[in-house]
Amino acid sequence: MSKNALFKTLISLKGNPRACVYTEPMWGLSMNLCIPYASVYMLALGLSDVQIGLVTTIFMLSQVVFAFLGGPITDKLGRRKTTALFDFLSWSIPCIIWWQAQNFWFFLVAALFNGAMKVPTNSWDCLLVEDAEKNQITSIYSLVIICGQFSALFAPISAVLVARLTLVPAIRILYVNALVIMTAKLIILYIFSRETKTGLIRLSETKGNSIWSLVVGYRSVIRIILKSKGTIFSLVISALVGIVAMVNNTFWQIIANKKLLVPDSLLPLFPMFRSIVAIIFFWTVIPRLMKKGLKIPLFAGFISYAVGQTLLILCPIANYPVLCISLIFDGFGSGILAMLAESLVALHVNKAERARVMAIQHMIIMGSTAPFGWIAGILSDLSRNLPFVMTVCLLITGIIVTLLYYRNDNQSSYNRGEYL
């Protein structure tokens, strides 16, 4: 994968991949304006660190349930309809609840609805790549990650609102804004997408079958997963990356705001800086690393991310230079690992059973991730540093797992990443 490959892929995208990638930046004017404040918003409304961790765990457990059902639902309703319906249930409705939130119970209910995102995560992935060329998949996921990073450039909007209106009123306005734009996003995607070729086949095959009868077929799907070492490896990597991302998304704002004393109005500017750094890396260093296959990029990502998390732990109060250096390492590590985790899952999946295999994969990933929200909340209540001590340990585990997987020089060329 090179810079030219990314540009070429972006320009040449057609059909469903184009609809999915081109609408992805709308996250920047919707949810990504709220996410940097989500945890401190909960703190401001009276939730404790443990309650925030519990909400995160409930969110993850909800994802486990919906991930389990996501495959049959996607096959039964089709990729396109499933994405539209469950994007509304998992994003538009929670935005209404977050907007009106008063206490812990509001966030708990919102987390249950928000967990339904695992259904459109599955169906959207199918919509994104099923009609794409296999050699484009890594570039397509890189573009999706870049779109997500670009969206953080809108962070000053939320910073200005918080500075002028104070935290809670500003975030309520941002959730209303997210409701409008996320709903518009799902409508636009529905209009400009079409059911995939595989989706049409699965619609025909599942016609007349109930969703529950399709669930029974998971036994054969599990056998498909267990027979593939590459799939198991991709699951472990995705779980580790998912846990670290979840802890950072939930507790980074808290450690920055409460321990490092970053003012409310400045909170979104640091994730914006990290996103800019990630974008730069995606157009410079990462394409060169990807030419070497997957092994070296995985090692580089885990090591860089671990260094960034360690610097965050050691960062002195209000020392913005050290905080920014930690975010440089985080930006590279989180960016490349997010792309590789998604690509590994998509590349190893059985194409004919993509929806159900990815549903099981998402369920396993979310099931393994779920307890860590509550655990991180308990750790944060003891010390703001401890959740990130845990993430460093998980990232070191990722290095060890990668080393064990690639220790055999007789890995196939596919596993070495020569398809890139």
Q: What is the DSSP string of 250-269?
A: HHHHHIIIIIS---GGGTTH
Amino acid at 418: E
pLDDT at 1 over 60: no
Task: Report d(CA 51, CA 59) in Å as an integer.
Answer: 12
pLDDT category of residue 20 using cuts at 50, 70 and 90? very high
Domain membership of residue 5 (yes or no) is no
| pLDDT at residue 6, as a whole number | 76
pLDDT at 131 over 60: yes
Nearest to 176 by CA among 92, 112, 88: 92
Domain membership of residue 246 (yes or no) is yes
pLDDT at 240 over 90: yes
| pLDDT at residue 316, as a whole number | 95
DSSP E strand boundaries for 250-389 = none
Structure-block tokens of residue 13 = 């995208």
- Please state the length of the chain: 420
What does the radius of gyration of the chain's CA atoms come to, in whole angstroms?
A: 20
pLDDT tens readout for residues 262-284:
998 888 889 889 888 888 888 88
pLDDT category of residue 414 using cuts at 50, 70 and 90? very low
Looking at per-residue pLDDT, the higher value among 137 and 251 belongs to 251
Q: Are 340 and 301 in contact (CB under 8 A)?
A: yes
pLDDT category of residue 194 using cuts at 50, 70 and 90? very high
Looking at per-residue pLDDT, the higher value among 314 and 359 belongs to 314
Domain membership of residue 7 (yes or no) is no
Mean pLDDT taken over the chain: 87
Task: Report d(CA 345, CA 51) in Å as an integer.
Answer: 32
| pLDDT at residue 409, as a whole number | 44
What is the tally of structural domains in the chain?
1
Q: What is the CATH number of the domain that holds 311?
A: 1.20.1250.20
Q: Are 26 and 185 in contact (CB under 8 A)?
A: yes
| pLDDT at residue 62, as a whole number | 93
Structure-block tokens of residue 214 = 């399709």
pLDDT tens readout for residues 336-349:
998 888 778 766 66
pTM: 0.77
Domain membership of residue 29 (yes or no) is yes
Domain membership of residue 8 (yes or no) is no
| pLDDT at residue 150, as a whole number | 75
Domain membership of residue 135 (yes or no) is yes
307: how many CB neighbours lie within 10 A of its CB?
19
Print the domain residue range for 122.
Answer: 13-416
Nearest to 388 by CA among 279, 251, 285, 266: 251
| pLDDT at residue 408, as a whole number | 64
Domain membership of residue 252 (yes or no) is yes
- Please, what is the end-to-end C-alpha distance for the chain in angstroms? 6
| pLDDT at residue 225, as a whole number | 76
